[in-house]
Amino acid sequence: MNFRPCPGRVAMYYAPGGRGTRVDSHVYAGYSIPPNYDSMIGKLIAHGKDRREAMDIMSRALTEYMITGIITTIAFEQAILQDPNFRRGTYSTSFSNSSSAAPAASCSKKTPDPAARFSLFPL
């Protein structure tokens, strides 16, 4: 797992919206992420009438998120939401190390992943 900061310039930024979706972020297109920062540059929150609906809303929101120019973890979070154990609610603090959801990107990667480094909160 590599969630270390990955500085760079956000080339394009489009946040998802709609019912059950909230984004807390200070990032915008053209924003330069400094080398010394908290690796969570934003928080995507989904809520629904139950866990399944919240996870479905989160999955939709993650596919709508568009960020380029930086290394991100959206693909990793999408994989978590597709994991059968996570969907059933069978997980622990070691889940990300033992699940089939591999990390989305590493800071040493030369081509940025067109996604975002966000915290996953299906409420």
SS3 string of the chain?
CCCCCCCEECCEEECCCCCCEEEEECCCCCCEECCCCCCCCEEEEECCCCHHHHHHHHHHHHHHCEEECCCCCHHHHHHHHHCHHHHHCCCCCCHHHHCCCCCCCCCCCCCCCCCCCCEEEEC
Q: What is the mean pLDDT of the chain?
A: 80
What pTM did the predictor assign?
A: 0.77
Does 25 reside within a domain? Answer: yes
Does 1 reside within a domain? Answer: no
pLDDT of residue 26: 92
The domain of 61 spans: 8-122
Closest by Cα among 117, 122, 114, 112 to 83: 122
> What number is the average pLDDT over the span 17-26?
95
> What number is the average pLDDT over the span 36-54?
89
Among the listed ranges 6-10, 11-15, 49-53, 119-123, which one has the minimum average pLDDT value?
Answer: 119-123
Does 41 reside within a domain? Answer: yes
Does 13 reside within a domain? Answer: yes
pLDDT of residue 104: 46
Q: How far apart are CA 46 and CA 118, in angstroms?
A: 12
Does 79 reside within a domain? Answer: yes
pLDDT of residue 113: 40
User: pLDDT of 94-121, one tens digit each?
Assistant: 777 765 655 545 555 444 443 433 444 4
Does 16 reside within a domain? Answer: yes
Q: Output Rg (C-alpha) for the chain, integer angstroms.
A: 14
- What total number of domains does the chain contain? 1
pLDDT of residue 66: 93
- CATH number, domain with residue 75: 3.30.470.20
Does 3 reside within a domain? Answer: no
Q: How far apart are CA 5 and CA 41, in angstroms?
A: 9
- What is the share, in percent, of the chain residues with pLDDT greater than 90? 46
> What number is the average pLDDT over the span 59-83?
91
